[in-house]
Amino acid sequence: MSTESIVLGGGCFWCIEAVFDLMEGVISATPGYAGGVTPNPTYKEVSGGLTGHAETVQVEYDPQTASLEAILELFFQVHDPTTPNRQGADIGTQYRSIILYTTEEQGKRVAEYMERKRGDFTKPIVTELKPLQRFYRAEDYHQKYFEKNPGSGYCRAVVAPKVGKAARKLGMAG
């Protein structure tokens, strides 16, 4: 099987990971940091907002089962691409909307998709689009966070509603 990957940031990476874990054709959704300048950043450094990195998720997928357009459609459904440096109560550049592409062709397709989506929103799309330079996997305790901590306050209040929305979008029981 030939796979592709793309790195998406749309607020807290726990939400994005949990949403893409639901999608058929997604092989893995790995929380991490990307889009910044600090090498080997830690969660504490990224949350401080000084590394330039965003909380992101590297989505590895089978393009025969999960198209790039389907991945982008779900991504744009579960976060607000019109809010600069913020998703809900999470504020700062580390929570910005960002797509980091892994090939020039993928970048072109994402740019075309975003151009088509502009009419779907009342405010301009501010999603940053740039080539992936480096993805840094987040610490182990961030991996599968929602799956391991569904009863935590943040997971109940923020992650679970996004997972429910994604499940409905994907035609699953929500």
The residues annotated as belonging to the active site are 12
DSSP string computed for 1-29: ---EEEEEEES-HHHHHHHHTTSTTEEEE
Output the CA–CA distances (angstroms, integers) from residue 154 to 41, 42, 158, 162, 163, in the order listed: 23, 20, 6, 12, 13
DSSP string spanning 46-100?
HHTT-S--EEEEEEEE-TTTS-HHHHHHHHHHHS-TTSTTEETTEESGGG-EEEE
